[in-house]
Structures are given as C-alpha cells and as structure tokens.
Amino acid sequence: MPRMTRRERRKTKRTTSTSQPIIPIKVEKKEDKQDYTHRGNRGKFFNWYGKNLKKMMILPLIMVVFAIVMIIFQTATTGSFVNKGISLTGGQTITVTHEGLDATLVETTLRQEYPAADIGVRVLSEFGTQKGLIIESSLDAPLDGILQIMMQWVPDVKENYSVETIGSSLSEGFFREILIALLIAFIFMSIVVFVLFRTLWPSLAIIAAALGDMIFAVAIINLFGIKLSTAGIAALLMLIGYSVDTDILLTTRILRAKRGDFLERTKKAMATGLTMTGTALGVVIVGLIFAESDVLRQIFTILLIGLIADLPFTWIQNVTILKIYMDKKSKKSKG
C-alpha cells in the first residue's frame, strides 16, 4: 500500500470531520431559585405588614391632621404659626454671673413685677456647676427694673452682668429671611429628588414624608410651649436631610432592585434605614442627656421629635404609596 503524503492526510482528516453530524449542546439556563417567602417570626411580621399597609396609613394621616390643626390654632391665637423666642421676636438677654441663684424664684418674681412682659429664666452652668442665670425678656420689662429686682439676691449685680439687646424689627426681618431660606432649601431638595427618580409619585412620596416630619415637629413644639430660636430653625433644616436619606434609600431599593418581591426589597431597605435612624436617635438622646447649653438642647429635642415622626411617614406612608405605584405599573406592563 503506497504511503499517503502529508497533504493527502490533511485532506482525509478534513473530510471525515465534516461528515460527522453536529450534535447541539443544550445549555441549561440557571434559574434564580432563591426563596422569597417570609418565614419565622420576622417573616410573619412582614407578611402581616404587607397585608395591612393601607390600614396602617391611618397613623400618618392622624399625625398630619393633628399637626395642621395645632398650627392653625397657634396662628389663630398668637398670630404666628410657632412660639418664637427672644432671638426671633426681639428683646434682651441678661446674663448674671453669680452662684446659688434660684431660677424658679427669680422668674416668678420678675413675672409678678412685669405681667405683660415675656420673661424666661434659665440656669447658666459649666461642667454641671451653676455659674449664674440667663434672663430673657421682651422690651416691655426695662433693664434697670430687672437689675433693681436682682439686687435683692445679688447686691453687686451691676458689676456682674452682661446684656444683649435685639430690636423687634431686626429680629422680624431675620425670621422672614430664615423662612425664605428654609423654603428654598425645600424646593432644591424637591428638584434633586425629581431629577434622581424622574417619576412623579415616588418623588412626591419622598417630599410628603419630609414635609410631614417638619410640620409634626413644629406642632409638638407648639404643644409643649417650646419657644423656637434660630437654633431651632437650623434643626428643622437638618430634619430635611435626616428624612430624605431614608426615603431615598427605600425608593431606590424598591424601584431599581431587580431581585425579590416588593416585601423583600422593603425588608432589605428597612434593615439599613432603621439602623441609620436608630444610630441617629442614640446620638440625639445622649446629646439631650449631657448637653448643658439650651441651644443644643433645643436642636436635639427637635431632631428627636422629627426622627420619631419619620418612622411612620417613611415605613408606612411612603411604602404604601410605592406599593400602589408598583402595583399599577405591574398591571400596565401585563396589559
């Protein structure tokens, strides 16, 4: 038998390989077999939570109605939607440096002497030790008269005091400018939310939650007679940020996550969001316990009220709006 050349061997190999039938390889597509059913005690809670979302909407609705009624009542009785402190109405702040003074006794005495004036007395302390008193009063109470009364407890009061006076017109203009700044901040926040999500109802849900936090905080301030200062306005500005971050987290998870059903996405967002809120609440509570400055106390108080109010506004109101939106979107895609 004659030997085959190299070219003939290549030709033979090529013909035999092409003559063999091509067997298609079936590639099995791996399915996402993750179980999204909610089991255990936590699963029972989320199943109940999902079924009763619309019923729970009564809580944020009651909070909003209560806040609006309180603000309307405050405006009708005082002419202003919030109790304003001396820094926002105008008046004088007198600091008397003398240890051992009774703030309650001094305030009672001054109010009896000047019943028409708005007077408040608080303790000036340093590292837990009283260093004196801070007397805040409207201009109806004259400075000389207050110092004359203080001489019965501090004979050399005229050598141990300082005074800061704010005119009513100046403070009124300042309050107006602060409100404009607050409104501008809220408008820019709304624009950012609309640009980020580009959908109407989820964006409106975020804005509604932030607005609910603010008006509820103002209502509670009015209820307890807390006089809002410039620091309190700053705390309301901070509330916008604290509210929006959890709402954006929730909305991003619901709209953009591709795995899991609605409740599974909500559960993951809630785990992160509640951790954030819980951490902030812990810091605020510690601040309230140890802060000696009334300015810091007012900031922490407003933040505490707003953070607690944010829980139902985010995890009930916002979730309900998003669920209705997602259900309608799902029906449209199927139809």
- Span 113-168, pLDDT tens digits: 998 888 888 888 877 788 889 999 988 888 899 999 999 998 888 888 999 888 88
- 38 found inside a domain: no
From residue 67, how far is each of 10, 63, 142, 281 by CA, in Å?
90, 6, 37, 22
The model's confidence at residue 33, banded by pLDDT at 50, 70 and 90, is very low
* Phi, psi at 95, each rounded to 5°: -105, 120
How big is the CA angle at 324 (ends 320 and 330), to the nearest 5 degrees? Answer: 140
The CATH number of residue 142's host domain is 3.30.70
Domain boundary among 151, 166, 181: 166
Number of domains in the chain: 2
- 187 and 270 both lie in a single domain: yes
Instruction: Answer whether 242's CB lies under 8 Å from 306's CB.
Output: yes
The model's confidence at residue 23, banded by pLDDT at 50, 70 and 90, is low
- 134 and 185 both lie in a single domain: no
The CATH number of residue 199's host domain is 1.20.1640.10
**pLDDT greater than 90 at residue 271:** yes
Give pLDDT tens digits for 41-74: 677 888 899 899 999 999 999 999 999 999 999 9
Using only C-alpha atoms, the chain has a radius of gyration, in whole angstroms, of 33
The model's confidence at residue 81, banded by pLDDT at 50, 70 and 90, is very high
Greater confidence (8 vs 163) lies with 163
Cα–Cα nearest to 48, from 56, 60, 59, 57: 56
What is residue 12's predicted lDDT score, i.e. its pLDDT? 58
The residue segments making up the domain with residue 160 are 91-166
What is residue 74's predicted lDDT score, i.e. its pLDDT? 95
- 292 found inside a domain: yes
What is residue 100's predicted lDDT score, i.e. its pLDDT? 86
- 270 and 130 both lie in a single domain: no
The model's confidence at residue 204, banded by pLDDT at 50, 70 and 90, is very high
Domain boundary among 166, 191, 210: 166
- pLDDT-wise least confident of 116-130, 136-150, 231-245, 315-329: 116-130
- 10 found inside a domain: no
Residues sharing a CB contact under 8 Å with residue 321, sequence separation 6 or more, in sequence order: 201, 202, 204, 205, 208
- 69 and 114 both lie in a single domain: no
- 174 and 160 both lie in a single domain: no
- 103 found inside a domain: yes
**pLDDT greater than 90 at residue 254:** yes
- 29 found inside a domain: no
What is residue 68's predicted lDDT score, i.e. its pLDDT? 97
First-to-last C-alpha distance (Å) of the chain: 75
DSSP state letters, 97-140: --TT--HHHHHHHHHHH-TTS-EEEEEEEETTEEEEEEEEE-TT
Instruction: Answer whether 243's CB lies under 8 Å from 310's CB.
Output: yes
- 231 and 148 both lie in a single domain: no
**pLDDT greater than 80 at residue 238:** yes
Q: What is the mean pLDDT of the chain?
A: 86
- 73 and 113 both lie in a single domain: no
What is residue 31's predicted lDDT score, i.e. its pLDDT? 42
What is residue 21's predicted lDDT score, i.e. its pLDDT? 53
Greater confidence (13 vs 65) lies with 65
Q: Which helix (H) or strand (E) holds 283?
A: helix 262-290
What is residue 308's predicted lDDT score, i.e. its pLDDT? 97
- pLDDT-wise least confident of 15-19, 101-105, 300-304: 15-19
Greater confidence (263 vs 39) lies with 263
